[in-house]
Structure formats: C-alpha cells, structure tokens
C-alpha cells in the first residue's frame, strides 16, 4: 500500500496493535545530560499514566516517539513500526495535546480544528464535518465560531484535545490535560479521555495531578532520571507490597502499648497512629493473621478491623522516585 495514502479504519484487533508503543534501551543525551538512560517500557492500549518529577524525561520520550528528536541508541516502535524509519506514517497515527498554550488565537475553534485536520491529511470535505463532530464531542458549542482569544482556559483545553483527535489517531499523548480547569471541567475532561479510550486507543497521559491519574489510568509508568523505575497495571502497583494490612484496635493505653510492642517485634510495622483510644497500625504480615488475634486477646485488646491496605498512587510515586 502506498504509505502516503493510508486507508483509515481497522478492525478492533488492528486498532489494538496500532497504538501500542514499545521502547527498548532508548538512550538520549543532550550534551552531558542523560535525558533517557536505557529506557525500556511497553505502552499497551488503554489509558496509561506517565509519571515523573520535572526533568525526568517524560517530554523527551514523547518527542522521541514522535520523531522530533533522534535517540542515540535503542529502538522505539509504534504499532510495530520503527520510529526512525516510519516517522511520517507514525505521526499520522498520533495525536498530541501539549501542556502549554499552542492555539492560534485569531482563528475560531472550528477553523483551527479543521485546519490541523487538513494538515494531518484530511480533505477539506472531510475535515469540516469532522471538526464539528469532535467539537461537539469535547463540549464546545456555538463558541466554536468565536476567535480562540475569547475562550476560557477550560475551553482552550477542550480545543487542544479536539485538534489532537480530529484525525482519529490510534495513539494519543495528553500532556497535563486538566491543567487550569475547574473541578467540573476536570471531571468532564477525564470522562472524555475515558470515552476516547473506549475506542481501543492507546492514551498516554502525563500529569502531576495524581488523583486524576488514579481515576482514569489502567496502567502507570513512572520515570525518573531517564529510566522507567516502575511500570505495570495500576492495580498491581497499588497493591505491590503483598501482605500490607491496616489494623484498628481499641483498649486501655497500657494494653495497647504492650500489643504494639508485640507487633513491632513480630511483624513489620510501617506506621502507628492513635486517636481517642483507638490505634491504627499499618503493617506487613509475616505470618498468619490468627497470631495477631491471639496476641490481641492475650493483651486484652479488641481488634476492630484488619483489612488489606492499598497504597495510594502518591505513595507509590514518592517511593519510586
């Protein structure tokens, strides 16, 4: 097939494969600075969170996938295509919503979206109805006929999303998509991301708002110093420390103190807190839980609950970096 004329429209299996990204041993240096240090990661279909402190290498990785920078080593493939050899074909399959302001303010919303649709290879006849369709989807109404300079931050974010999806990419990079949005707008943006992902797309979301990431992401990749320090499904990452439990107990202070001493001796205690005669202990079990109940009975302490304790994404992030 002529690579310049690619028919868009795959069955679901093709779609699943088209947006996956695989990076192996990618090295990228800017002078003495190592931006990507033998980075390896797999981005499956679905919503994937890309986390990392500032300067960790997130943007460099995105640029490397887009072919805007050429890594000195390693390979990146998008949907099985090498990012160095098939730059233009890959870019046709990619949508990108940058973090910073990037809209042409003198244009109206519909002009801008259809213009970038045409630059992505849509004919004029296709791009205009498609622009209206995606602007309806992102929730821009009659405002689409006003110059972008008159838009609020939330509306600009929606137009940025619209220009990224107008050409129906298989892989979508969203950089801080909820930046500057009010709580309702944020919820709506996350809802839109989920709806796009339902169409078998790979969506890589980079954000510092970890609650948002926890809310929408199925997979998470944490980058630090140019390396992927943690990656996997969100469920696995949050429950990564097997046997992590939260114990709530009540009793008179002396009994509670001796019980806590027992726990510290026999189990791995992570934290202890006390409020109104009730202690909460986060620990990692080293044996059967029955021993804890027996020890509590001997100490005269009433165990109110012993439940598994999942980490928050914030805790996983801080632990990883």
For residue 12, is it left (φ>0), alpha (ψ between -120 and 50) or beta? alpha
Kind and range of the H or E run holding 295: helix 290-299
Q: How would you label 22-58 residue by residue, b for 16+ Cβ within 10 Å and e otherwise?
A: bbeebebeeeeebbbbebebebebbbbbbbbeeebbb
Using CB under 8 A as the binding rule, whether residue 9 contacts other proteins is answered as yes
Choosing from 58, 91, 156, 186, the residue that interacts with other proteins (CB under 8 A) is 91
- The CB-of-184 to other proteins minimum distance in angstroms stands at 9
- The CB-of-197 to other proteins minimum distance in angstroms stands at 9
How many whole angstroms separate alpha carbon 10 and alpha carbon 170?
Answer: 10
The backbone torsions φ and ψ at residue 146, rounded to the nearest 5 degrees and listed phi first, read -95, 155
Using CB under 8 A as the binding rule, whether residue 161 contacts other proteins is answered as no
What crossing angle do the helices spanning 124-138 and 183-197 adopt, rounded to 10°?
Answer: 130
What sections of 120-172 are H helices per DSSP?
124-138, 153-165
Cβ proximity to other proteins: between 130 and 317 the closer is 130
- Chain residues 167-226 in contact with other proteins, contact rule CB under 8 A: 167-168, 185, 188, 191-192, 195-196, 198-199
Cβ proximity to other proteins: between 37 and 168 the closer is 168
Size of the site for other proteins (CB under 8 A): 57
Cβ proximity to other proteins: between 93 and 219 the closer is 93
Using CB under 8 A as the binding rule, whether residue 247 contacts other proteins is answered as no
Choosing from 55, 73, 82, 104, the residue that interacts with other proteins (CB under 8 A) is 104
Of 151, 154, 153, 163, which Cα lies nearest the Cα of 111?
163
- The CB-of-224 to other proteins minimum distance in angstroms stands at 23
Using CB under 8 A as the binding rule, whether residue 1 contacts other proteins is answered as no
| Residue entry with tokens 């797999």 | 42
How many whole angstroms separate alpha carbon 113 and alpha carbon 109?
Answer: 6
Cβ proximity to other proteins: between 116 and 259 the closer is 116
Q: Pairing mode, if any, of strands 81-82 and 33-43?
A: unpaired
* Binding interface with other proteins (CB under 8 A): 3-9, 63, 66, 68-69, 87-89, 91-92, 94, 96, 98, 100-106, 115-116, 118-123, 126, 130, 133, 136-137, 139-141, 154-155, 163, 165-168, 185, 188, 191-192, 195-196, 198-199
């Amino acid at each position: 097939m002529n690579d310049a004329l690619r028919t868009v429209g795959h069955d679901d299996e093709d779609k699943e494969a088209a947006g996956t990204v695989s990076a192996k041993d990618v090295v990228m240096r800017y002078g003495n600075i190592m931006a990507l240090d033998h980075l390896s990661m797999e981005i499956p279909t679905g919503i994937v969170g890309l986390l990392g402190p500032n300067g960790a290498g997130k943007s460099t990785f995105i640029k490397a996938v887009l072919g805007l920078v050429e890594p000195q080593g390693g390979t990146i493939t998008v949907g099985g295509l090498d990012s160095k050899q098939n730059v233009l074909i890959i870019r046709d399959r990619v949508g990108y919503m940058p973090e910073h302001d990037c809209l042409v303010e003198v244009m109206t919303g519909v002009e801008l979206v259809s213009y970038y649709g045409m630059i992505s290879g849509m004919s004029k006849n296709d791009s205009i109805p498609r622009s209206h369709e995606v602007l309806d989807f992102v929730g821009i109404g009659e405002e689409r006929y006003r110059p972008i300079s008159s838009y609020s931050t939330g509306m600009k974010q929606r137009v940025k999303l619209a220009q990224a999806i107008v050409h129906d990419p298989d892989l979508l990079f969203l950089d801080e998509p909820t930046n500057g949005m009010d709580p309702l707008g944020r919820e709506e943006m996350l809802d839109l991301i989920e709806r796009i992902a339902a169409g078998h797309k790979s969506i890589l979301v980079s954000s510092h708002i970890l609650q948002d990431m926890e809310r929408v992401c199925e997979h998470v990749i944490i980058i630090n110093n140019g390396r992927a320090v943690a990656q996997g499904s969100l469920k696995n990452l949050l429950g990564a420390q097997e046997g992590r439990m939260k114990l709530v107990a009540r009793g008179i202070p002396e009994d509670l103190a001796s019980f806590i001493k027992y726990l510290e001796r026999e189990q791995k205690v992570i934290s202890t807190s006390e409020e109104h005669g009730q202690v909460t202990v986060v620990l990692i079990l080293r044996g059967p839980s029955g021993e804890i109940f027996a020890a509590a009975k001997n100490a005269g302490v009433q165990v109110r609950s012993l439940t598994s304790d999942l980490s928050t994404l914030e805790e996983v992030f801080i632990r990883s970096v």
